[in-house]
Amino acid sequence: MAKNPFENALEQLEKAQDIEPIDSVAYEIMKRPQRILEVSIPVKMDGGGTKIFTGYRVQHNDARGPCKGGIRYHPNVSIDEVKALATWMTIKCATVNIPYGGGKGGVICDPKEMSEGEIERLSRGYMRQIAHYIGPDVDVPAPDVYTTPQIMAWMEDEYSKIVGKDTPEVITGKPIDKGGSEGRGTATGMGGSYIIREASKELGLNPSESTVAIQGFGNAGSVAASILSKMGYKVVAVSDSHGGIYNKDGLNIDRVLQVKKEKGRVSEYDGPCEKVSNEELLELPVDILVPAALENQITKDNAPHIKAKLVAELANGPTTPEADQILHEQDVLVTPDILTNAGGVTVSYFEWLQNKKGEHWSEEEVNKKLDEIMTPAFRDVYTKAKEKHIPMRTAAYIIAMHRVADAILKRGY
């Protein structure tokens, strides 16, 4: 039986603790969320009845600052999943050294089966139930799976009504005209591209001579494809849930983006290419592989066949622990998700800062500041990994855990 995600999170903490331990009490504190909230949300449905939905908000640790993390709407939301995601958010924020702890929320629902009115009533109801436990300096939610800037705007409006004043800084990922940040939509792909650029330097990969395959052409994957091609990399393969395309001489990414927008799938691309499956894409003879789709794509079965020198995890959890070990033994550099895709939470942090100061930064300014956070974070993790001869994931955990433990100790138990 598969381990639950929270057990996986604890295992990763333990691995780092074995190599470079933190204070034992701080470690015990990090193994448990500070607060777990379960709420019931009654929603009037369009058909006339009322349905009760279950929602969660987990605040894992606030030693370094307010808890931060998305809210997901999904039929499979579980408390163990939300606890794991909140723990990973603490680690992610500490890895890139932004002053947040980790939080996460979720509601068990199927938004695809709900009308816009039902989703609005659910969103406002959820906010009413958690409002007294969150706040701009306590816990700052954001969008996640199947939640949108519009949903964040409804939640912010509801919170502002409850506290009696406009409070845009209580939530991030809002529409631009409601206090959202420029560059938020591209932040994950942009941040990941900076990490790939820095890792390429360490591996001696010249962009103009380096080939890239990207599994997943959603927001993060398509943005990364566009940015990397502008940086001079040769993007030779991309895929979405319907399958992929490959041309060893490179794809016309602008055209792929246009086709995806118009026809909904990259396989309709009309340039020279051959069709490949999502599984085949992972094993192509490329320099850089970017898993930007689902979790558990690289496993102990296909890891031995991966030919890339660099695997940049733009998705959450695309590599299983067994595969991670195999890739490390094969000298494949894996930049872990908690570093590679931290551009999203970093620009959420910028949105919060802008709201607090009543400012609005240009996209150019946002991207420059993002680079100034992602690049040193890569350096810290890469240096630790080399020094200890360990995978970058474990190095990131060590750095993050020491930062959190330091904050716990300075505050006092």
Q: Which of 11, 12, 103, 6 minimizes the C-alpha distance to 393?
A: 12
Catalytic one among 92, 104, 309, 384?
A: 104
Residue 196 to residue 233: CA distance in whole angstroms: 10
What distances in angstroms separate CA 389 from CA 165, 198, 205, 303, 384, one per listed residue? 52, 19, 21, 20, 8
Q: Which of 292, 320, 313 minimizes the C-alpha distance to 12?
A: 320
Residue 116 to residue 242: CA distance in whole angstroms: 27
Name 370's Cβ contacts closer than 8 Å, sequence gap at least 6. 183, 187, 190, 191, 194, 343, 346, 347, 350
What distances in angstroms separate CA 380 from CA 19, 36, 188, one per listed residue? 17, 32, 19
Q: For 134-148, b where at least 16 C-beta lie within 10 A, e where not — what string?
A: bebeebbbbbbebbe
At 334, phi and psi to the nearest 5? -110, 115
Contact call for residues 288 and 196 (beta carbons, < 8 A): yes
Contact call for residues 409 and 402 (beta carbons, < 8 A): no
Q: Is 73 in a helix, a strand, or coil?
A: strand
Put residue 216 in one of left, alpha, beta given phi > 0 → left and psi -120 to 50 → alpha.
left
Q: Is 104 a catalytic residue?
A: yes
Residue 234 to residue 200: CA distance in whole angstroms: 13
Residue 103 to residue 83: CA distance in whole angstroms: 8
Residue 8 to residue 31: CA distance in whole angstroms: 12
Neighbouring-strand partners of residue 391: none
Residues annotated as part of the active site: 104
